[in-house]
Amino acid sequence: MEDPTMNKRTAVYLLPLAGLMLTGCIRDRLPDCPPLSVTIDVKDKNYFNINTISRLGLMEAKAENLPFREYVHSLYYEVTDEKGNIVARQTTAAVDNDNAEQTLRLDTELPYGKYKVSVWGNLNSDFPLDENTPDDVLQSADVMKTDVYIASGTFDYRYGNENFKLSMERAKGNLLIRAEGLPDNIDFSTKDISNVYSLVGHNLSYSKPATMHTATEWLEPNRIQTQTLLCPSTSFEASTLSVTFADKSTVQQSDADTNMLQPDDVRITMGRNEVTVLKYVYDQNTESFTIYAIVNDNWEVVHGMEIE
Protein backbone atom coordinates (compact mmCIF):
# COMPACT_ATOMS: atom_id res chain seq x y z
CA MET A 1 0.00 0.00 0.00
CA GLU A 2 1.35 3.46 -0.98
CA ASP A 3 2.49 5.59 1.91
CA PRO A 4 0.26 8.73 1.88
CA THR A 5 3.04 10.81 3.44
CA MET A 6 5.33 10.24 0.50
CA ASN A 7 3.53 12.73 -1.81
CA LYS A 8 3.60 15.41 0.89
CA ARG A 9 7.24 14.83 1.44
CA THR A 10 7.88 15.12 -2.29
CA ALA A 11 5.86 18.32 -2.49
CA VAL A 12 7.75 19.84 0.41
CA TYR A 13 11.08 19.28 -1.32
CA LEU A 14 10.00 20.37 -4.81
CA LEU A 15 8.11 23.58 -4.10
CA PRO A 16 11.12 25.65 -2.97
CA LEU A 17 13.02 24.54 -6.06
CA ALA A 18 10.11 25.47 -8.30
CA GLY A 19 9.97 28.91 -6.69
CA LEU A 20 13.68 29.41 -7.32
CA MET A 21 13.26 28.54 -10.98
CA LEU A 22 10.50 31.10 -11.33
CA THR A 23 12.38 33.98 -9.71
CA GLY A 24 16.03 33.38 -10.62
CA CYS A 25 18.31 32.14 -13.35
CA ILE A 26 20.11 28.84 -12.82
CA ARG A 27 22.88 28.66 -15.41
CA ASP A 28 23.34 24.87 -15.39
CA ARG A 29 19.62 24.10 -15.89
CA LEU A 30 18.33 26.95 -18.06
CA PRO A 31 19.47 28.58 -21.30
CA ASP A 32 22.20 31.20 -20.90
CA CYS A 33 21.21 34.16 -18.78
CA PRO A 34 21.19 37.57 -20.53
CA PRO A 35 24.80 38.79 -20.77
CA LEU A 36 26.13 42.01 -19.30
CA SER A 37 25.49 44.60 -22.01
CA VAL A 38 26.86 48.16 -22.11
CA THR A 39 25.63 50.71 -24.65
CA ILE A 40 28.10 53.53 -25.38
CA ASP A 41 27.40 56.95 -26.82
CA VAL A 42 29.53 60.09 -27.27
CA LYS A 43 28.95 63.00 -24.90
CA ASP A 44 31.66 65.44 -26.03
CA LYS A 45 30.95 65.77 -29.74
CA ASN A 46 32.34 69.31 -29.75
CA TYR A 47 34.61 71.36 -27.52
CA PHE A 48 32.90 73.35 -24.76
CA ASN A 49 33.86 76.67 -26.40
CA ILE A 50 33.42 75.60 -30.02
CA ASN A 51 30.83 78.34 -30.71
CA THR A 52 33.41 81.06 -30.02
CA ILE A 53 36.16 79.23 -31.90
CA SER A 54 33.98 78.66 -34.96
CA ARG A 55 32.67 82.25 -34.93
CA LEU A 56 36.27 83.46 -35.20
CA GLY A 57 36.88 81.11 -38.12
CA LEU A 58 39.50 79.01 -36.33
CA MET A 59 37.73 75.65 -36.32
CA GLU A 60 34.44 74.23 -37.55
CA ALA A 61 31.90 72.63 -35.23
CA LYS A 62 30.88 69.04 -35.94
CA ALA A 63 27.25 68.13 -36.46
CA GLU A 64 25.74 66.50 -33.38
CA ASN A 65 24.02 63.66 -35.27
CA LEU A 66 26.95 61.97 -37.01
CA PRO A 67 27.73 58.26 -36.64
CA PHE A 68 29.67 57.25 -33.54
CA ARG A 69 32.87 56.63 -35.48
CA GLU A 70 32.96 60.22 -36.74
CA TYR A 71 33.86 61.18 -33.17
CA VAL A 72 35.46 57.96 -31.88
CA HIS A 73 36.96 55.66 -34.51
CA SER A 74 38.29 52.87 -32.28
CA LEU A 75 37.47 51.28 -28.92
CA TYR A 76 39.42 49.48 -26.22
CA TYR A 77 37.74 48.14 -23.09
CA GLU A 78 38.45 46.14 -19.99
CA VAL A 79 36.17 44.75 -17.29
CA THR A 80 37.38 44.23 -13.73
CA ASP A 81 35.75 42.49 -10.77
CA GLU A 82 35.48 43.82 -7.22
CA LYS A 83 39.03 42.58 -6.47
CA GLY A 84 40.46 44.46 -9.43
CA ASN A 85 41.04 41.37 -11.55
CA ILE A 86 40.58 41.83 -15.29
CA VAL A 87 37.86 39.38 -16.34
CA ALA A 88 37.38 40.62 -19.92
CA ARG A 89 39.34 42.77 -22.32
CA GLN A 90 39.24 43.89 -25.94
CA THR A 91 42.36 45.45 -27.41
CA THR A 92 41.95 48.44 -29.70
CA ALA A 93 39.55 47.66 -32.53
CA ALA A 94 38.13 49.91 -35.25
CA VAL A 95 34.46 50.89 -35.14
CA ASP A 96 33.14 49.36 -38.36
CA ASN A 97 29.55 50.59 -38.57
CA ASP A 98 27.58 53.84 -38.87
CA ASN A 99 25.48 53.44 -35.73
CA ALA A 100 25.06 56.36 -33.37
CA GLU A 101 25.81 54.06 -30.40
CA GLN A 102 28.00 51.01 -29.86
CA THR A 103 27.16 48.02 -27.65
CA LEU A 104 29.54 45.81 -25.68
CA ARG A 105 28.14 42.36 -24.85
CA LEU A 106 30.13 40.28 -22.43
CA ASP A 107 30.42 36.49 -22.37
CA THR A 108 27.33 34.70 -21.04
CA GLU A 109 29.63 32.72 -18.71
CA LEU A 110 30.45 35.86 -16.72
CA PRO A 111 28.94 35.26 -13.26
CA TYR A 112 26.68 37.81 -11.63
CA GLY A 113 28.40 40.43 -9.50
CA LYS A 114 29.68 44.01 -9.47
CA TYR A 115 32.00 44.98 -12.31
CA LYS A 116 33.84 48.08 -13.46
CA VAL A 117 33.77 48.69 -17.21
CA SER A 118 36.40 51.08 -18.58
CA VAL A 119 36.44 52.14 -22.22
CA TRP A 120 39.05 54.16 -24.14
CA GLY A 121 38.42 55.63 -27.59
CA ASN A 122 40.71 56.71 -30.44
CA LEU A 123 43.82 54.95 -29.14
CA ASN A 124 46.56 54.33 -31.71
CA SER A 125 48.06 51.52 -29.62
CA ASP A 126 46.73 48.15 -28.49
CA PHE A 127 46.61 49.27 -24.86
CA PRO A 128 46.07 52.57 -22.99
CA LEU A 129 49.08 54.63 -22.00
CA ASP A 130 49.97 54.01 -18.36
CA GLU A 131 52.69 54.69 -15.80
CA ASN A 132 54.97 52.16 -17.52
CA THR A 133 54.92 54.00 -20.85
CA PRO A 134 58.37 55.52 -21.69
CA ASP A 135 58.59 59.31 -21.76
CA ASP A 136 59.67 59.37 -25.41
CA VAL A 137 56.41 57.61 -26.33
CA LEU A 138 54.31 59.96 -24.20
CA GLN A 139 55.87 62.96 -25.95
CA SER A 140 55.72 61.53 -29.46
CA ALA A 141 53.87 63.39 -32.20
CA ASP A 142 51.55 60.41 -32.57
CA VAL A 143 50.37 60.63 -28.95
CA MET A 144 49.84 64.38 -29.17
CA LYS A 145 47.60 63.87 -32.21
CA THR A 146 45.44 61.32 -30.39
CA ASP A 147 42.04 62.69 -29.36
CA VAL A 148 41.49 60.29 -26.47
CA TYR A 149 37.99 59.58 -25.14
CA ILE A 150 37.17 57.74 -21.91
CA ALA A 151 34.10 56.27 -20.23
CA SER A 152 33.95 54.28 -17.00
CA GLY A 153 31.26 52.92 -14.69
CA THR A 154 30.61 50.30 -12.01
CA PHE A 155 27.58 48.05 -12.54
CA ASP A 156 25.67 45.55 -10.40
CA TYR A 157 25.13 42.75 -12.90
CA ARG A 158 22.29 40.46 -11.78
CA TYR A 159 19.19 38.78 -13.15
CA GLY A 160 16.86 41.45 -14.54
CA ASN A 161 19.63 44.06 -14.37
CA GLU A 162 21.87 43.36 -17.35
CA ASN A 163 21.76 46.48 -19.53
CA PHE A 164 23.79 49.59 -18.76
CA LYS A 165 24.92 52.79 -20.50
CA LEU A 166 28.13 54.83 -20.66
CA SER A 167 28.92 58.18 -22.31
CA MET A 168 32.38 58.86 -23.70
CA GLU A 169 34.07 62.12 -22.70
CA ARG A 170 37.07 63.79 -24.32
CA ALA A 171 40.17 63.52 -22.13
CA LYS A 172 42.30 66.27 -23.68
CA GLY A 173 42.16 69.90 -24.62
CA ASN A 174 43.36 71.52 -27.85
CA LEU A 175 46.12 74.14 -27.96
CA LEU A 176 45.58 76.15 -31.16
CA ILE A 177 48.28 78.61 -32.20
CA ARG A 178 48.11 80.97 -35.16
CA ALA A 179 50.97 83.15 -36.42
CA GLU A 180 50.64 86.16 -38.74
CA GLY A 181 53.05 88.60 -40.40
CA LEU A 182 56.09 86.33 -40.28
CA PRO A 183 58.88 86.70 -42.89
CA ASP A 184 58.46 84.39 -45.89
CA ASN A 185 61.51 82.30 -44.98
CA ILE A 186 59.94 81.15 -41.68
CA ASP A 187 58.76 77.58 -42.26
CA PHE A 188 59.35 75.83 -38.94
CA SER A 189 58.12 76.19 -35.35
CA THR A 190 58.53 74.51 -31.98
CA LYS A 191 56.41 74.54 -28.84
CA ASP A 192 57.19 73.58 -25.25
CA ILE A 193 54.31 73.39 -22.76
CA SER A 194 55.18 72.77 -19.11
CA ASN A 195 53.11 71.31 -16.26
CA VAL A 196 50.52 69.40 -18.22
CA TYR A 197 49.56 65.85 -17.30
CA SER A 198 50.79 63.11 -19.59
CA LEU A 199 48.64 60.18 -18.41
CA VAL A 200 44.88 59.74 -18.08
CA GLY A 201 43.21 56.75 -16.46
CA HIS A 202 39.86 55.54 -15.23
CA ASN A 203 37.28 58.20 -14.38
CA LEU A 204 39.38 60.88 -16.14
CA SER A 205 42.03 60.72 -13.42
CA TYR A 206 45.24 62.47 -14.52
CA SER A 207 48.85 61.90 -13.43
CA LYS A 208 52.53 62.36 -14.29
CA PRO A 209 53.06 66.10 -15.01
CA ALA A 210 55.44 66.71 -17.88
CA THR A 211 56.74 69.25 -20.37
CA MET A 212 55.54 68.42 -23.86
CA HIS A 213 57.53 69.38 -26.96
CA THR A 214 56.41 69.63 -30.59
CA ALA A 215 58.14 70.63 -33.82
CA THR A 216 56.25 71.50 -37.01
CA GLU A 217 57.47 72.14 -40.55
CA TRP A 218 55.33 74.39 -42.77
CA LEU A 219 54.78 73.89 -46.48
CA GLU A 220 53.20 77.28 -47.13
CA PRO A 221 54.76 80.54 -45.85
CA ASN A 222 52.57 82.66 -43.59
CA ARG A 223 49.92 79.98 -43.24
CA ILE A 224 50.92 78.86 -39.78
CA GLN A 225 48.29 77.34 -37.53
CA THR A 226 48.98 74.40 -35.22
CA GLN A 227 46.76 72.23 -33.09
CA THR A 228 48.24 70.16 -30.26
CA LEU A 229 46.13 67.81 -28.12
CA LEU A 230 47.18 67.93 -24.48
CA CYS A 231 45.93 66.73 -21.12
CA PRO A 232 44.95 69.50 -18.67
CA SER A 233 47.37 71.74 -16.80
CA THR A 234 48.16 70.75 -13.23
CA SER A 235 46.42 73.91 -11.96
CA PHE A 236 45.20 77.33 -13.12
CA GLU A 237 47.87 79.13 -15.22
CA ALA A 238 50.42 76.50 -14.15
CA SER A 239 51.62 75.86 -17.70
CA THR A 240 54.20 77.99 -19.50
CA LEU A 241 54.09 78.05 -23.29
CA SER A 242 57.36 78.72 -25.13
CA VAL A 243 57.21 79.13 -28.91
CA THR A 244 59.98 79.52 -31.48
CA PHE A 245 59.64 80.33 -35.20
CA ALA A 246 62.54 79.63 -37.54
CA ASP A 247 63.89 79.02 -41.01
CA LYS A 248 64.31 75.25 -40.97
CA SER A 249 67.31 75.35 -43.30
CA THR A 250 69.29 77.23 -40.62
CA VAL A 251 68.19 75.31 -37.53
CA GLN A 252 71.25 73.06 -37.49
CA GLN A 253 73.71 75.90 -38.10
CA SER A 254 75.93 77.35 -35.39
CA ASP A 255 74.28 80.77 -35.73
CA ALA A 256 70.75 79.32 -35.66
CA ASP A 257 69.68 81.54 -32.76
CA THR A 258 70.10 84.64 -34.89
CA ASN A 259 67.66 83.20 -37.44
CA MET A 260 64.97 82.36 -34.89
CA LEU A 261 62.07 84.49 -33.76
CA GLN A 262 61.28 83.93 -30.09
CA PRO A 263 58.24 85.70 -28.64
CA ASP A 264 57.78 86.03 -24.89
CA ASP A 265 56.63 83.03 -22.91
CA VAL A 266 52.96 82.94 -21.92
CA ARG A 267 51.19 81.37 -18.94
CA ILE A 268 48.23 79.26 -20.06
CA THR A 269 45.69 76.87 -18.62
CA MET A 270 44.93 73.75 -20.62
CA GLY A 271 41.46 72.37 -19.86
CA ARG A 272 39.68 69.17 -20.74
CA ASN A 273 37.51 69.40 -23.88
CA GLU A 274 38.40 73.06 -24.35
CA VAL A 275 40.31 74.94 -27.05
CA THR A 276 43.04 77.28 -25.78
CA VAL A 277 43.91 79.82 -28.50
CA LEU A 278 46.87 82.17 -28.91
CA LYS A 279 47.70 84.38 -31.89
CA TYR A 280 51.21 85.69 -32.54
CA VAL A 281 51.32 88.78 -34.77
CA TYR A 282 54.81 89.77 -35.92
CA ASP A 283 55.72 93.34 -36.85
CA GLN A 284 58.69 93.20 -39.24
CA ASN A 285 59.39 96.92 -38.74
CA THR A 286 59.85 96.66 -34.98
CA GLU A 287 60.89 93.00 -35.10
CA SER A 288 58.55 92.25 -32.24
CA PHE A 289 55.44 90.20 -31.49
CA THR A 290 52.06 91.15 -30.13
CA ILE A 291 50.42 88.09 -28.56
CA TYR A 292 46.65 87.69 -28.27
CA ALA A 293 44.52 85.18 -26.37
CA ILE A 294 40.78 84.57 -26.51
CA VAL A 295 39.16 85.69 -23.26
CA ASN A 296 35.39 85.91 -22.79
CA ASP A 297 34.82 85.43 -26.53
CA ASN A 298 37.20 88.26 -27.51
CA TRP A 299 40.85 88.71 -28.41
CA GLU A 300 42.86 90.18 -25.51
CA VAL A 301 46.53 91.25 -25.55
CA VAL A 302 49.02 89.19 -23.54
CA HIS A 303 51.76 91.26 -21.87
CA GLY A 304 54.55 90.04 -19.60
CA MET A 305 53.19 86.50 -19.55
CA GLU A 306 49.83 87.84 -18.33
CA ILE A 307 46.62 88.63 -20.21
CA GLU A 308 45.77 92.30 -19.95
* All structural domains of the chain with their residue ranges: 37-170, 173-307
- Identical fold at 37-170 and 173-307? yes
Q: What share of the chain is helix, strand, coil (3-state, %, to 5)?
A: 15, 45, 40
pLDDT tens digit string along 151-206? 999 999 999 999 999 999 999 999 999 999 999 889 999 999 999 998 888 889 99
- Burial level of 132, CB count in 10 A (0-12/13-18/19+)? exposed
pLDDT (0 to 100) of residue 297: 85
Tell which wins on pLDDT, 264 or 307.
264
Q: Output the CATH code of domain 37-170.
A: 2.60.40
Q: Are 272 and 229 in contact (CB under 8 A)?
A: no
pLDDT (0 to 100) of residue 306: 61
CA distance 257 to 246: 9
Pick from 37, 33, 34: nearest CA to 105: 37
CATH class, domain 173-307, is mainly beta
User: Is it the case that residue 49 has pLDDT exceeding 50?
Assistant: yes
pTM to 2 decimal places: 0.84
